[in-house]
Amino acid sequence: QVQLVESGGRLVQSGGSLRLPCARSWGIFSISDMGWYRQAPGNQREWVAVITRRGTTNYADAVKGRFTISRDNAKNTVYLQMNSLKPEDTAVYYCNTYPSGTSWGQGTQVTVSS
């Protein structure tokens, strides 16, 4: 069973930065397209960013220019660098394959104070 372990979330002030790592414990990570997703209170989970197995990236309009997704295949880890954070970025952040699978990790809480 695939395990996805997100970490790095915390309380941060508006304008601050965070880097979220996500480790995947099973499967051939290097051939998977990987994505970051988030779910704010009362909202559905939404897609944030994707990085293909070849390193091509794409972002949701809400985070474009502020967030950067990257990957380290040797460590089976995908990262989300978040800069210029806004209160509306407050959410639980998850990683998964892209498109997402049915099994999700616990996520990591990011809270941005104004």
State yes or no: cis peptide before 99, omega within 30 of 0: yes
Question: Cα–Cα distance between 60 and 50 in angstroms, integer?
Answer: 9
| pLDDT value of position 88 | 97
Asked whether the predicted pLDDT for residue 72 surpasses 90, the reply is yes
| pLDDT value of position 31 | 79
Residue listed under structure tokens 């996520």: 107
What's the average model confidence in pLDDT over 87-114?
95
Asked whether the predicted pLDDT for residue 74 surpasses 70, the reply is yes
